Amino acid sequence: MNEQRIPLLDLVESLGRLAAGERRQRAVAAGLQPVHVQALDYLRRCNRYSNTPQALADYLGLTKGTVSQSLQLLERKGLIARRPDDADRRVLRLALTAAGEALAGTAGELAEWPAALAALPADEADAAAATLARLLATMQRRRGGQSFGACHSCRHFRHEGGDAYRCGLTGEPLGADDSRRICREHAWPEAAAAD
């Protein structure tokens, strides 16, 4: 028997801090702050309903004022483009430029983790991931906040056969690519967590 009495939460927080530290290093090496790399990463992974300053603010847990500043900085650096929405002229639509896409790719990658993760037995890693996914879903529902999950795990997600999907909230059709993106309207199903 081994002696790891370390509770699960402590481990998650320690690993999270470690990863955040590495991300921080890579961000400053790229001339950005960690939060800016997070923003770029979000824009790379969010869907078409979620590429606005307000959605980003909700995702990051920051005020819209703070996010507005960061976005201006990112635009000055030529990493994102901001253009008004056609339908609602209050709204800005954010998009990565080619430079932003490239930077998000390089600065978003972690150097040491893939190897360490690959060294874990696959079934063990999968089991741990399943457990953590349940925990995450529980926590997000319990806190009542937005969950920002991928589209395909959403309560409103409908499969219409083949590669055809639809969002039950907006009614719009979705492609296979859309279904893997982060959505600000995401809501976990009622009963089960991540099943």
Task: Give the residues lining the site for a second copy (CB under 8 A).
Answer: 2-9, 11-22, 61, 110, 112-113, 115-117, 119-120, 124-125, 127-136, 138-140, 142-143, 150, 152-153, 180, 194-195
Nearer to DNA, 82 or 166 (CB): 82
Rounded (10°) angle between helices 98-108 and 34-45: 110
Chosen residue from 62, 150, 187, 193 binding DNA by CB under 7 A? 62
Please list every residue from 114 through 173 that binds DNA, using CB under 7 A: none
Q: What distance in Å separates the CA atoms of residue 11 and residue 15, rounded to the nearest whole number? A: 6
Q: Is the sign of the CA dihedral 104, 95, 173, 149 positive or negative?
A: positive
For residue 190, the partner it binds in DNA, a second copy, none, with Cβ less than 5 to 8 A by kind, is none
x/- map, 74-113, DNA, by CB under 7 A: --------x----xxxxxx---------------------
Q: What distance in Å separates the CA atoms of residue 84 and residue 95, rounded to the nearest whole number? A: 11
Nearer to a second copy, 87 or 115 (CB): 115
Is residue 33 involved in binding DNA (CB under 7 A)?
yes
Diameter over CA atoms, the chain: 63
Q: Is the sign of the CA dihedral 170, 176, 178, 181 positive or negative?
A: positive
Q: Supply the DSSP symbol for 175.
A: -
